[in-house]
Structure 1
Amino acid sequence: MIERADQLVLNYVSKAADAAHGVLRSDQRLDFARRLRARIEAERGGSQSPREVAKLLARFGDPVALVEREARRLAAAAPGTAPGTAPAVGAAPAVRVAPAAGDGLAPGDTRRFPAIVDDPGFSPAVQPVRRPARHRQNRPAGRGLPFAGLRRAAMSSANPMATGGRDARTVLKEHPRDVGALAVLVVAALLVPFGLPALAIFPVPLVVWAAGAAIVLLSESWEVRDRFLGAGAPLLGYAVGGVLVGGLRVGAEPGLDAFMTQFWAVSGTMFMIGTGLGVLWLGYRLLDA
Structure 2
Amino acid sequence: MIERADQLVLDYVSKAADAAHGVLRQDHRLDFVQRLRARIESERSGSEDPKVVARVLATFGDPAALVEREARRLSSDGEVPRIQAEPEVRPAESDTAVFPRVVDDVPPGVARGMREARARLAGRTERGLPFAGLRRAVMAGANPMATGGRDARTVVKGHPREVLAIGLLLLAALLVPMSLPSVAIFQVPVIVWAAGAATVLTSDSWSFRDRMIGIGAPMFGYGVGGVVIGALRVGGESGFSAFLAQFYAVSGIMFMIFTGLGVVWLAYRLWDLS
Task: Decide whether aligned partners of structure 1 residues 272 and 248 sit closer, same or farther in structure 2, where only a CA change above 3 A counts.
Answer: same
The counterpart of 1:88, out of the listed 100, 104, 111, is: 104
Give the residue type in structure 2 aligned to 1:217.
Answer: L
Distance of aligned partners of 1:74 and 1:13 in 2 relative to their CA distance in 1, 3 Å threshold: farther
Q: For 2:270 and 2:161, how far apart are their aligned partners in 1?
A: 12
Distance 1:217 1:57, change over 3 A: farther
Larger Rg: 2
Q: CA deviation at 1:173?
A: 1.2
**2:205 aligned to 210, 221, 245, which one?**
221
Contact kept? 1:72, 1:87, Cα under 8 Å = no
Question: Which residue does 1:168 correspond to in 2?
Answer: 152
* 1:9-56: CA deviation from partner (whole Å, max 9, x where unpaired): xx979833564269464x64452245558899xxxxxxxxxx9x9889
The percentage of aligned residue pairs carrying the same residue is 48
**Amino acid of the structure 1 residue aligned with 2:35:** D
1:31 pairs with 2:35: yes
2:8 equivalent to 1:15? yes
In structure 2, the CA distance between the partners of 1:248 and 1:55, relative to structure 1 (3 Å rule), is farther
Per the alignment, do residues 250 and 33 of structure 1 end up closer, same or farther by CA in structure 2, a change over 3 Å counting?
A: same
1:113-152 alignment, distance < 5 Å: none
TM-score by length of 1: 0.58
Higher RCO, 1 vs 2 (CA within 8 Å, ≥6 residues apart): 2
2:80 corresponds to which residue? 79
Change (3 A) 1:280 1:32: same
Q: Distance in 1 between matches of 2:69 and 2:247?
A: 72
Name the CA distance, whole Å, in 2 between partners of 1:87 and 1:215.
Answer: 59
Of 225, 239, 246, the match for 1:255: 239
TM score, norm. by length of structure 2: 0.61
How many residue pairs were aligned? Answer: 204
Give structure 2 stretches of 5+ with no counterpart. Answer: 18-28, 45-50, 86-100, 109-136
What is the CA RMSD across the aligned residues, in angstroms?
4.0
User: What is the CA distance between 1:69 and its match in structure 2?
Assistant: 4.9
Find 1:158's aligned residue among 129, 141, 147.
Answer: 141
Q: Secondary structure at the match of 2:177?
A: helix
Secondary structure of residue in 2 paired with 1:288: helix
